[in-house]
Structures are given as C-alpha cells and as structure tokens.
Amino acid sequence: MPLHHPTRRSAQLALVAAAGLAVSGYAQSAMAQDAQGGPREPQAEQFVQVNAQKVISVLADRSMSVAQKDATFHRTVDAVADVPKITNFVLGKYARTINPQQRQQFATAFRAYAERVYQTRLGDYHGETLKVTGSVVRKPGDVIVNSVVTGGQVDQPLPVAWRVMGAGGSWKIVDVQVKSVWLAITQQQDFVSTIDNAGGDIGVLIARLQQDNPGSPSTPR
Amino acid sequence: MLAARSPVTAAAGSWFAQSRYASRTPRYSGTWDEHLDGVKEMMVLAGGVWPTSVFLPIGDEERLLNWGLLGRGRQALCCSTRRTRHPALSASCLALAGALVASAAQAQAQAPAGTEPTPPHEIAPATALGEPRQDDDPLHKMNRASFGLGMGLDRYVIGPITHAYQGVTPSPIRRRVSAVVYNLGEPGTAINDVAQGHARHAGQTASRFIINSTVGVLGVFDVATGLGLAGHQADFGQTLGRYGVKPGAYLYAPVLGPMNVRDGIGRLVDVFTDPVSLLTGGIGTSFGSARLGVTGLDTRSSADGAIRALDDATDPYATVRSAYGQNRASMVRSAKGQAETLPDFDAAPGEAEASVARAKHRPLQPN
C-alpha cells in the first residue's frame, strides 16, 4: 500500500500526534513526581526557609567587613546548627575513646575549621535564593527538609537537603546534603580516616585542624 | 601511562587472584566475600574481565581509553580504533582530552553536573554509616598511590589548562558550552532510563533533547528547564545497580578517577553505546575528538570549586571516596526508588558502626 494512501497517511499523522502527546504527558507526569508523598513537618520547613536563606545572605553581604561577617556568621551558626551534636558525630567511632581534654581541643579546633571552610565555600555564591520544596519526617524530631537553590552563580536549580533535629519550635541543623553528598558524613569519613592513618592518635587530627585555623597561612595548592 | 596490555593485565589478574585479601583471610572475609560477589557478577556480565586503563598510541592507531579487558583468554569488549590523517597531533589531542575526561570524572565524584530529582529519604530507623567505608576499599594502598598520581597530574597539567580556559572564556560562554555538552549526553541518559524501566524519565529526557536541540539551538540554550523539564543523569553503572549488581571494590585510576568495579564497566559500556558517538563516528573523527576534549575541559572547569575544596580536607583521598560513594549510592537508590538510610545522630558513639559490624559478623577494626 503506497505511503500517500489517505488511510495510512492519517494513521501516520495520528501516531505522530499520539507520540507527541505521550511525550508531553510523560513530561507532565515527571514534573508531578517532584512532590514526594509522606508526612511533612511545616515548622522544620519554615525554620530552614528562614535561617538557611539568612546564612546565604550574611555571607553574600559585601557591605560587611571581614570581621563583621565572621562575627555574624559565628552567631548565626550557633543559632541554627547543633554544633555539639555535629562535633560528636564527625568523630565517628573515636567519639567513645576521646578523653575530655582532647574533646575540648577538638571542639575548638573543629569549630574554627568548619566556620572557615563553610564561609569560604558558601562565599562563592552570591545572589542565590533558597526555596523549600517539602520535607520528610524520618522519625519524630528528625526531619529532612528539601530545598532548591536558584539564581546567582547557579545555572541549574541546585537541590539541597537539610537534616534538622528538634521538636516544636526548636530545630537545629545537623547536616546538609548538596548533590547527593552529606557534608557531615563526608567530614566524618575524612576525620576517621585521618585518625586511622595516624594509628588512632586523635591528636594528629587536632593538630591538623589547628594548623589550618584562621590566622595560620593555609597550605598553597 | 604507557603499558603493554597483555602482561600488565595478566599480572594484575594473577595478583588479584592470589592477593592476601582472598576470602581465606579472616580479617577481610566478610567484606571480601561481598566484594567477590560483586566481581563475580561483573565477570558473568562482561565475560571475565579485569579492567585496566592504558593509553596506547600504537603506530597510526590511537586508543585513548583503552580498557585492556582480558580474562580467560577472551576480550569481552574492545575499543574503537580508527586511522587518522595526523596521528601525532591526534594522539596528543586525544591524550590530553582523555586526561581531562578522567580528571573530570574524578571531579564528578564531588560535583556531578545536572539537576537530579530529590531522592526520597528513608523513614525506617538507620544504623549504617555513609558508604563506602574503609572496609569497602580493600585496594586502598594501590588506590592511594593512584590518587596521589592523579592529583599531581591535575595540579601541574590539567588544572593549569583549565584555569587558562577559564581565564580566556567569559562565564556566560562557559555556561553555554556546558549546556551543549550536557545536551549531547541526553540520548545516552534516555537509553539508560529505558533500560531501567523508567519510561517517564526517558520521555522527559527525550523531550529535553528535542527541545534544546531545536529551539535551544543545538543545546546552547536550556529551554527545556524553563518549561519545567528538569534534567537528570542516568548511566549504565546505575542501570546495573538498579538490577542488583553490587558495586564491588572501590578503585581509583590515575587518569580515570574514582570508580568501583560495577561503575567502571558501566562507563565503558556508556562510551561504546553513546548514540551521538555512534551517529557521528566516535572519537576517531574530528567531531568526536573535539567533543571529548570540550567535555573533559568543561567538566573539570565546572568542578573546579570542588577540587579546590579538597585542600580543606584532612584526608582528601577519603573525602573523594566518601563523596563518590554517596553520589553513586544515591543514583542507584534513585533508580530503584528506594529511600536513603542515614546514620543516627542520637546513637551512642560507635553504636552505629558496632551494629553494622555485628550484622556482618566481623569484629570492629581500628584499621
């Protein structure tokens, strides 16, 4: 049957139209998939929306001096992050063998190290906005808040997940996931590996963190 | 990175088989059994292979990413070899491009391009730590040496080239280049979406490719994202994981970067099944070579921040390994539709790791 036969041609056009509709239908369905089912925690979402954007804005504020920015960032971290819990977590298995003196030294060194690192990393972003898209309750008091960062230096919408713990109106951030990588988990594996390679000597890690603290010249790349 | 193929891979295979990490060594028995399971699955799929990466300019035949796949006397896969008119120049360009791609692959461990749907997070209680752990890295001594070599290559060759590119190319132009590179990868993503049984994702990817290639002027402009069609990545390593193939041992190759046995084979399959390459003639053609070089340069440039972030790590090797493992695990979970298992911040120190160790019937190791 020749291709120009009316019936076959109509069928071909119908198939093309159906394919186009199917493709757009798939696209619509895929878009709808962004909304994950399951219980949400609105208070945790509100906490992240307000405070995460605050952190980004502080670091992007070019009107502040370096000292002002450091002080503001320090206060903001205290307010939004559960620093003791994170400090304990990143030690991994060594959290149960570290002595109190080392724990204090580590806490001080890690705090200064983390602020410097995250200030530097987040300082690369300017003008971005964060929008919370939902949340998943992992267990009571342990929530993953999903968000998207857009604008500024970000070409494609950047998914960022925030793990927050707490209850009622009191929430604190314990970890952040960017492009599928949890920062505290990565930090833990980094630190545990460093201590492992030092034969279990936590002092080596502490010395390394103190070496890279603000005021010390960083190792040139 | 020149090596004769047969002696190296034969020696590697022999070493591997006789390694002290064999299952009869109790310290590694639990983990090594899992690793061997993964390797056996790979061998079944790929016909018994031990992957290596060599760059072999042989006469007037150039092979850039020649995975010298040998095992049981069979070559399960081979690379394409094409004669070119200017072998010396092409060899240099391909070598540079290959190094860029490999360095980019390493960078991808920390900064994968594109936007992926937010993965679901688990509801069940979690006790496991993030993966991979030291016990998933039985070849860590060799890997660390490779990592050092790779970082040196990046510091003295790849990095300077990339920074020169960034210096002469304005940011808006670099973003357009990234969009074109990403668009050329969409057909491969769509194929893997189909292989994973994700028809909706495949349709979305196909729509993106069509829209961006036409309205978006060959991918220069990402019109599809503005229409609500978010991009995502899919590769054959993910496809294998989707169907239950375990990752196997962590590997770090100086030129290719971080991978595991499963994903390394997946990368190879992706290279040889890439629709754009098949249509345009592969890396032996001018377009193919240019695409390879631009892709590597673009990926390395995009990941520059992540690479610089390694300066802050106390153990950059462990950091890359962790980031790579988390990223790949997330991709496989996404393909399976599984929730993520997270460590319990409220657990007593060491309790999480202890529970995982008990489950695997092995003693805790201070390493």
Residue A4, pLDDT > 60, answer no
Q: Give the model confidence (pLDDT) of A85-141 as tens digits.
A: 999 999 999 999 999 999 999 999 999 998 888 777 766 666 678 899 999 998 889
Distance from CA of B193 to the nearest CA of A (A): 13
Question: Which residue from A minimizes the CA distance to B117?
Answer: A34
Whole-structure pTM value: 0.70
β-bridge mates for residue B58, sequence order: B61
Distance CA A84, CA A76 (A): 15
Instruction: Give contacts of A 165-184 with B, CB under 8 A.
Output: 165, 174-175, 179-182
B330 closest CB neighbour out of A34, A36, A180 = A180
User: Is A31 part of the contact surface with chain B (CB cutoff 8 Å)?
Assistant: yes
* Per-residue model confidence (pLDDT) at position A126: 65
Distance CA A17, CA A123 (A): 49
Within chain B, residue ranges assigned H as helices are 5-18, 29-46, 87-108, 140-153, 159-168, 171-184, 186-195, 199-214, 223-226, 236-242, 261-273, 275-280, 286-302, 304-309, 316-336, 351-359
Question: Which residue from B minimizes the CA distance to A209?
Answer: B314
**CA-wise closest residue to B227 among B235, B236, B215, B217:** B215
Successive 10-residue mean pLDDT values, chain B, 367 residues: 40 42 40 47 41 39 39 37 43 46 44 47 41 70 95 94 95 93 96 96 96 96 92 95 96 90 96 93 89 92 88 94 95 91 74 43 38
B203 closest CB neighbour out of A27, A186, A196 = A27
Distance of alpha carbon B284 from its chain centroid, rounded? 22
Q: Which residues contact A141 (CB under 8 A, 6 or more apart)?
A: A165, A166, A167
> Confidence band (pLDDT; 50, 70, 90) for A71?
confident
Q: Give the model confidence (pLDDT) of A145-155 as tens digits.
A: 999 988 776 76
* Per-residue model confidence (pLDDT) at position B318: 96
User: Is A205 part of the contact surface with chain B (CB cutoff 8 Å)?
Assistant: yes
* Per-residue model confidence (pLDDT) at position B197: 95
Enter the ipTM: 0.78
User: With contacts defined as CB-CB under 8 Å, which chain A residues touch B314?
Assistant: 190-191, 194, 205, 208-209
Q: Percent of chain A beyond pLDDT 70?
A: 74
